Structure 1
């Protein structure tokens, strides 16, 4: 199949992976942290996924990244995975429900636009309205009983969203490895930093993980990391960052539904109102982005 005709199919597949696979990972993180210490689980997840993907790519003949590429991948991996995903994992371990965690992370496009200002990107009135509405949604979310019961979890989720957004914007100008090798290098370094954090914080595996804990880890390694994260890095290189972060439209709904069906979670009125406000804000931000988003030619 010619490259040009294959390119839209890759875009569609990448977006679907982000929308639905990543929406489900919040539930599997919730299941996993019942058996695993949070930083240890996140570190093992990304180190295994990065090792598998790196080995596969090297066997296929992909070149080993240069030192500047390793350094760039390390910066992005620490921001997106060590700080971003690590923050979410610790927050869910602290008691935040998977649905509310996904809803808090839905603020990533707001932070993406904010950090874009420092790179000379101008925001439209519609985008500014989305930012203001999103900030109101964050305030409403913090009024809910779920985050009020875990102030640490609330702070970690906002930090995680901001770190993920900053890393996504910065990655556009960094000399990252080509193709999926960028994701592999980022997962290797991000996973190693998470394991170092686990060691420093004194985490210990109190007992052998349950079958559900191992199953959650396997799902997060193969689907949440190798498939979905590779898709995300692909989109960051081929569409505007705010378009790549549009998974925030769908992830909260997927996560809330799965949490209610399979984990017995529930969200209050405040969280429901916050969900409507935040998703509305993301839609306001996304409309101009989708109008501007143009795929880069593959040659």
Structure 2
């Protein structure tokens, strides 16, 4: 069955959301954690976004999913949003520059390919070349500069990236609610878990958040969560996976440029090289299966 091409305007709008809105969230997180404790901000972000999305879906007449599908979505939400995004938020609170965090998170497709192999999904030689290239980029990124002097920040982002990659692969092989209901449950669960973790960690507001802090929280909830996730769901239904996942090598570039232009962040020559190497690795992994399709098997008659 041929996939019907989407209208041009919705396609451009969805790609803009993934490329630039998701790419900008790293810088906005950096602005937000200047006013909010990190896990508290991340928890409020997902709780607000999940509540709004769930209310909208129920008003539209959507039915609640089965307990099994809802439970699976809750676990995926913990892996992707609570651990994956929460780790990035905490790392940026510990002075990891937003651009560097985005470059590190760009390794998610590389880890996802490794987990895919564990689940028995066929891989190609070009994808393993991408993995090796990505490891070189990670070593370059962590051997000096910002992450070299902040090992805990690097470890947190690495753990978050691994959790996001595993959750993405595992989530594609289990029963989940249909449409945006899965995203609503994932965000609600992540919000509750992150706020509970914030309370257990003793996070508290020492002063009223600034206007910048409130605007950052609102932007992350509305644009970074509801709109961007809706755009991603539209793309995976409308275009090839290669196009839908192309944000993985655009986001770090957007994040780096925003951090340098507006956040006063800097990157060393080694970190620029690491960015180029990691983006190349992600391109090899995400596009390799389309540039070098497997040869069809010819079965001999017995």
Whether these two folds match at TM > 0.5 is yes
Distance 1:163 1:241 in 2: 21
Distance 1:110 1:240 in 2: 19
TM-score normalised according to structure 2 size: 0.90
Q: How many residues align?
A: 291
Cα deviation per residue 1:88-142 (whole Å; 9 max; x = unaligned)? Answer: 0001001100000000000011011001001211221111100000011000000
Q: CA deviation at 1:223?
A: 0.5
Match of 1:88 in 2: 88
Distance 2:258 2:213 in 1: 17
Larger radius of gyration: 2
Distance 1:233 1:118, change over 3 A: farther
Query: Does 2:40 align with 1:40?
Result: yes
Q: CA deviation at 1:11?
A: 5.7
Q: CA deviation at 1:64?
A: 1.2
Query: Does 2:233 align with 1:261?
Result: no
CA contact (8 A) 2:242 2:287 kept: no
CA contact (8 A) 2:124 2:289 kept: no
CA contact (8 A) 1:140 1:274 kept: yes
Cα deviation per residue 1:197-237 (whole Å; 9 max; x = unaligned)? Answer: 10111111111100000011110000000011233355567
> Residues 226-245 of structure 1: matches in 2 within 5 Å?
226-233=226-233, 235=235, 244-245=244-245
Q: CA deviation at 1:248?
A: 1.7
Distance 1:254 1:77, change over 3 A: same
**Greater mean alpha carbon deviation, residues 196-205 or residues 242-251:** 242-251
> Residues 141-180 of structure 1: matches in 2 within 5 Å?
141-180=141-180
Cα deviation per residue 1:231-280 (whole Å; 9 max; x = unaligned)? Answer: 33555677787764431210111001101111100111111110111111
Match of 2:200 in 1: 200
Distance 1:74 1:7 in 2: 33
Cα deviation per residue 1:138-183 (whole Å; 9 max; x = unaligned)? Answer: 0000013110221111001111111111111111122111111111
Distance 1:100 1:4 in 2: 38
Structure 2: where are the runs of 5+ without partners?
294-302
Match of 1:134 in 2: 134
Distance 1:8 1:115 in 2: 34
Match of 1:117 in 2: 117
> Residues 55-66 of structure 1: matches in 2 within 5 Å?
55-66=55-66
Distance 1:175 1:231 in 2: 21
TM-score normalised according to structure 1 size: 0.91
Distance 1:274 1:286, change over 3 A: same
Distance 1:229 1:62, change over 3 A: same
Distance 1:66 1:102, change over 3 A: same
Q: CA deviation at 1:17?
A: 1.8
Q: CA deviation at 1:87?
A: 0.5
